Amino acid sequence: MIYDFNKIEEKWQKYWADNQTFKAENQSEKPKYYVLDMFPYPSGAGLHVGHPLGYIASDIYARYKRHQGFNVLHPQGYDSFGLPAEQYAIQTGQHPAVTTKENIATYRRQLDQIGFSFDWSREVRTSDPQYYKWTQWIFIQLFNSWYNNDTNKAEDISTLISIFETEGNATVNAVCDDNIAAFTAAEWKGYTSKEQQAILLQYRLTYLAETEVNWCPALGTVLANDEIVNGVSERGGHPVIRKKMTQWSMRISAYAERLLQGLDKVDWTDSLKESQRNWIGKSVGAAVTFKVKDSDAVIDVFTTRPDTIFGVSFMTLAPEHDLVSQLTTPEQKAEVEAYILATAKRSERDRMADVKTISGAFTGAYAEHPFTKEPIPVWIGDYVLAGYGTGAVMSVPCGDERDYAFAKHFNIPIINIFEGVDISEAAFTDKEKTVIGNSDFLNGMNYKKATKRAIFELEKIGQGEGKTNYRLRDAVFSRQRYWGEPFPVYYVDGMPQMIAAEHLPITLPEVEKYLPTETGEPPLGNATVWAWDTTKNEVVSNDLIDNETIHPLELNTMPGWAGSSWYFNRYMDSTNTEEFASKEALNYWKDVDLYIGGSEHATGHLLYSRFWQKFLFDKGVVPVDEFAKKLINQGMILGTSAFVYRFSWMIVSNTDEAFDILDPKMPSFFITKSKFEKMKSGDVEEIKNAKEFFLSTLNEIFPDSDIKLGDEISLQLVPTHVDVSFVNSSDELDIEQFKNWRTDYTNSKFINEDDGTYKVGREVEKMSKSKYNVVNPDDIVSDYGADSLRLYEMFLGPLEQYKPWNTAGITGVHNFLKKLWKLYVDDNGLKVSEAAATKDNLKTLHKTIKKVQEDIENFSFNTSVSTFMIAVNEFTTQKCTSKEVLEPLLVLLSPYAPHIAEELWNQLGNSASISTAAFPEFDASHLVESSKNYPISFNGKMRFTMELPMDMSKDDIEAAVMANEKTQEQLAGRTPKKVIVVPGKIVNIVG
């Protein structure tokens, strides 16, 4: 009986689906375990072999946990709002919902055939109105909340209003916009409703604010930084400028400190936590206010080095800073405006990354030093970013490298305030060694003392205070796109109003075109039925807008991260229509025990999700304030691209009329890899051969033309991507397939290796369609089976690492499965016997149990595949047929290769699914060794080994080793200076 993997896999996939083998219950006697994958965006290209990597790892873990007796929740769904579907809609007119549905169907089919143990009854789709109803609901909760610094949590906005009504805003300790004017209770009551709403908006956890965006006028849309290349749009190459726009923002900054502290509670990788810490960017320092000479204006800055305040020799504002136009003197106006225009064209990332180009402009204005009252010139410079801190810095060139470079470049004086330090060549940035000088009351102090004193003095004169700053900026939550969650928001008199929760979901309206409107409004501006009727509580036609009872709806949609910031909670109770999940379900599952996904989400998804979780926790909606206990990042599988090497010379024909360069008979010439490399390095012989081949071939094809070569230098050697499916495991190109690939390759001519094959070059690159290196899991599954695919993906290397895919290697794991099969089944059927296991059988089994269990718990899946191979090799050598060891082996293997394990388990006479079997118990007694093969080293170099009893004493080992003739041979008469004996490990003889 042969190993018919296709039949076996289909059979068990059907069995699992029919029996709902992996459906999780929200109540159980068993302990719970929640294994989650970052859900995929269903792209039109379908899955390639890189995508399932993390899913296979989490599936192994989920199946392992079931064997361990846990009630496992292992769901899957789709992050189905996003740009690609919208882009496709713009190009083709296809509704994104239609393409998304098709793409999901493809994904589902592909996922199913890999044999994942997902509980599909809990599937979620972020673009499903029944799902985004709750995303909208969370948005409303955020709108109706403010952050109370005294209680250190989010509270309902009504508590804030009642404070305003009784005390005004002076006593409120809230996270809010800067510079909110103070008002009394009486004033509050006197405000119009609109004025009150405007004030409250400055406190809400989601609010409208002006934010800077990358605006592309030609495309009529906002672009992400990575959609901009060299200052122009990636698509179309249109100019992009920085522009202010009113958008929804999320007050994530309110949670900065808790997001930072919470990292200590979760078991995530250190590198990921470090990224988040860095992103949050806590810095302790001071806020300092500089007065501007001859003006009422003040410049607020934040500095981490208030100790260096006497070193300030200029101020730098971001070119976008509000004060710039006000401060600039008429003489400097032209220069400043030109500079602002130039800056607007640069992306933020450019400005951060490029430290070599120093640019700026003098505004002509002067600030006043808070203590010396000396004038300080005010500059603008694009190294200061508007969105960071206050968008202005006090520049201390002696203590900051960028300030130093700026001062040098513009010949601004550099004041040295450090004792005993030479700053003629570079700034001095070492806080630890700082001794302040030339600084009035700070003289002689170290960094710590001077910082305290400077803050004290600033507070005394009312021009500063100690402050903790976070780099974390509030997150922009509006997108000028179609394919996202609509906001449950309408506008009355320009003020946003929430639609009551019972009327949700507000579903996406139909539009004619998915592009921005001609007036530059977002795509929802094209909708004709997009107004809110406050009496009927439904979406009605725009024509009915009367601004009395019928009002316009919000035209922006929510960003991609909205739906993904809480989906892990929805899986706990995904079909609930009354609540986003029931209390019982939330309290039972609580949080994710293991979360697997890509490290590229480190600061986006993973930070926003933590933010929402903490908010929902404050509101009492979820029981824990961190949603994932443990998180593992899987690496990426890269493609192994294949290259053919095209060569040609410029050709000259003496008989023009008889020869046409566009002649369909005109061939392409390719040279094999090793010869290409010789040619490239200028090998004369190789070039001569290629040239002769080239000429003689052409003259053969065009006998009537007398073809000659042009200039010697005209040799063209071009590596070209070729589809990896045309190449075998030995890098040989299937020339027939290649010729049939494209019409212009049909007549190709090849210079081959000396053995007659054409060998391609290889290079590891990201897997992508354009590089022809995409490998489809469907093909792998049909050729080798899902179990082989699963094993091979794990076998490739450590989960977290980036590693190249090479289909050729899969024969290794496939052969392993065939060998495994043969251990159980031969031509006559099942050959497993009731024979007692031998000592060797038990040793192999228990060695394998130990290693595999350790590996799974350490997420080292690649090494357990090797372990299985070793076990099967050993059992084969031992001619083992004993059920006593072969049955538990199947349970060990089943998380990795579930189909073959189920099949053999079934053939052994078990009627229940192998997923219900208990994981085998490790028994150390089978591994006890009585002797050790000691490596004997001389000066650290291993020369030979000696078999010695495990219980031999140190002295006896030394004596036995010294008595060995090989030892004497190695020593050649010398007396060793020292003999190191580490019992059970090694012997090292020094001398």
Q: b/e string for 521-547 if b means 16 or more Cβ within 10 A? A: ebbbbbbeebbbbeeeeebeeeeebee
Tell which positions 556-575 bind RNA, by CB under 7 A.
559-560
Taking the least distance from each CB to RNA, the nearer of 170 and 224 is 224
* C-alpha torsion sign, points 948, 951, 957, 963: negative
Least gap, CB of 126 to RNA (angstroms): 9
Least gap, CB of 347 to RNA (angstroms): 8
- Tell me if 930 contacts RNA by CB under 7 A: no
The binder of RNA chosen from 229, 942, 950, 959 (CB under 7 A):
942
For 438, which DSSP code?
S
Taking the least distance from each CB to RNA, the nearer of 905 and 938 is 938
- Tell me if 601 contacts RNA by CB under 7 A: yes
C-alpha 946: how far from its chain's center?
51
Say if residue 68 is exposed, middle or buried (CB neighbours under 10 Å; 0-12, 13-18, 19+).
middle
Least gap, CB of 124 to RNA (angstroms): 14
The binder of RNA chosen from 72, 205, 213, 780 (CB under 7 A):
213
Report which residue type is found at 358. Answer: I
Taking the least distance from each CB to RNA, the nearer of 664 and 940 is 940
- Residues 133, 124: contact at Cβ < 8 Å? no
The binder of RNA chosen from 197, 438, 937, 964 (CB under 7 A):
937
Stretch that binds RNA, among 195-203, 300-308, 457-465, 793-801 (CB under 7 A): 793-801
Tell which positions 806-845 bind RNA, by CB under 7 A.
806, 808-809, 811-813, 815-816, 818-819
Taking the least distance from each CB to RNA, the nearer of 376 and 733 is 733
Exposure of 415 in the CB half-sphere (CA atoms within 13 A): 16
The Cα 812–Cα 729 span in angstroms is 12
- Tell me if 797 contacts RNA by CB under 7 A: yes
Least gap, CB of 931 to RNA (angstroms): 11
Binding string, 19-48, against RNA, x = CB under 7 A? ---------------------xx-------
The binder of RNA chosen from 460, 933, 973, 975 (CB under 7 A):
933
Binding string, 273-302, against RNA, x = CB under 7 A? -xx--xx-x---------------------
Tell which positions 966-985 bind RNA, by CB under 7 A.
970, 978, 980, 982, 985
- Residues 792, 656: contact at Cβ < 8 Å? no
- Tell me if 729 contacts RNA by CB under 7 A: yes
C-alpha 777: how far from its chain's center?
22
Stretch that binds RNA, among 600-608, 780-788, 884-892, 914-922 (CB under 7 A): 600-608
The binder of RNA chosen from 10, 227, 257, 783 (CB under 7 A):
227
The Cα 394–Cα 314 span in angstroms is 7
For residue 920, CA distances in Å to 69, 583, 845, 894, 976 come to 12, 36, 10, 12, 49
Least gap, CB of 261 to RNA (angstroms): 18
Tell which positions 246-275 bind RNA, by CB under 7 A.
247, 270-271, 274-275
Per DSSP (E only), the strands in 217-313 are: 221-222, 228-229, 232-233, 241-250, 282-292, 298-303
Task: Give the pair of three-digit tokens for residue 539.
Answer: 């979406």
Tell which positions 414-473 bind RNA, by CB under 7 A.
471-473
Give the strand pairing for 531-533 and 538-540.
antiparallel
Taking the least distance from each CB to RNA, the nearer of 774 and 813 is 813
Least gap, CB of 392 to RNA (angstroms): 17
Least gap, CB of 732 to RNA (angstroms): 8
Q: Centre a 10 Å sphere on the Cβ of residue 262 and count the other Cβ atoms it contains.
A: 17
Tell which positions 180-199 bind RNA, by CB under 7 A.
none
Taking the least distance from each CB to RNA, the nearer of 362 and 571 is 571
Stretch that binds RNA, among 109-117, 502-510, 593-601, 622-630 (CB under 7 A): 593-601
Taking the least distance from each CB to RNA, the nearer of 15 and 944 is 944
Task: Give the pair of three-digit tokens for residue 954.
Answer: 């140190």
- Residues 477, 538: contact at Cβ < 8 Å? no
Task: Give the pair of three-digit tokens for residue 879.
Answer: 């001619």
The binder of RNA chosen from 144, 390, 599, 641 (CB under 7 A):
599
Q: Centre a 10 Å sphere on the Cβ of residue 70 and count the other Cβ atoms it contains.
A: 18
3-state secondary structure of 939: coil
Tell which positions 754-773 bind RNA, by CB under 7 A.
766
Phi, psi of 210 (to 5 degrees): -80, 125
The binder of RNA chosen from 162, 575, 801, 953 (CB under 7 A):
801
The binder of RNA chosen from 20, 541, 939, 968 (CB under 7 A):
939
Task: Give the pair of three-digit tokens for residue 795.
Answer: 């076998």
What one-character-per-residue DSSP string does 733-789 give?
B-HHHHHHH-GGGTT-EEE--TTSPPBPEEEEE---GGGT----HHHHHHHH-HHHH
Stretch that binds RNA, among 17-25, 478-486, 655-663, 694-702 (CB under 7 A): 478-486
Taking the least distance from each CB to RNA, the nearer of 126 and 136 is 126
C-alpha 8: how far from its chain's center?
36
Taking the least distance from each CB to RNA, the nearer of 476 and 845 is 476
The Cα 866–Cα 813 span in angstroms is 9
Size of interface with RNA, in residues (CB under 7 A):
92
For residue 609, CA distances in Å to 74, 168, 564 come to 19, 34, 7
Stretch that binds RNA, among 303-311, 345-353, 494-502, 691-699 (CB under 7 A): 345-353
- Tell me if 357 contacts RNA by CB under 7 A: no
For 599, which DSSP code?
G
- Tell me if 225 contacts RNA by CB under 7 A: yes
Stretch that binds RNA, among 224-232, 372-380, 455-463, 587-595 (CB under 7 A): 224-232
Taking the least distance from each CB to RNA, the nearer of 351 and 899 is 351
Task: Give the pair of three-digit tokens for residue 944.
Answer: 């030979």
The binder of RNA chosen from 454, 545, 642, 796 (CB under 7 A):
796
The Cα 672–Cα 84 span in angstroms is 38
Q: Which residues contact 971 (CB under 8 A, 6 or more apart)?
A: 938, 989, 991
Tell which positions 868-897 bind RNA, by CB under 7 A.
869-870, 873
Report which residue type is found at 78. Answer: Y
Taking the least distance from each CB to RNA, the nearer of 192 and 975 is 975
Taking the least distance from each CB to RNA, the nearer of 189 and 974 is 974
- Tell me if 224 contacts RNA by CB under 7 A: yes
3-state secondary structure of 920: coil
Q: How long is the chain? A: 991
Least gap, CB of 388 to RNA (angstroms): 7
Tell which positions 49-108 bind RNA, by CB under 7 A.
79, 82-84
Q: Which residues contact 200 (CB under 8 A, 6 or more apart)?
A: 157, 160, 161
Task: Give the pair of three-digit tokens for residue 180.
Answer: 């909110």
- Tell me if 245 contacts RNA by CB under 7 A: yes
The Cα 412–Cα 602 span in angstroms is 41
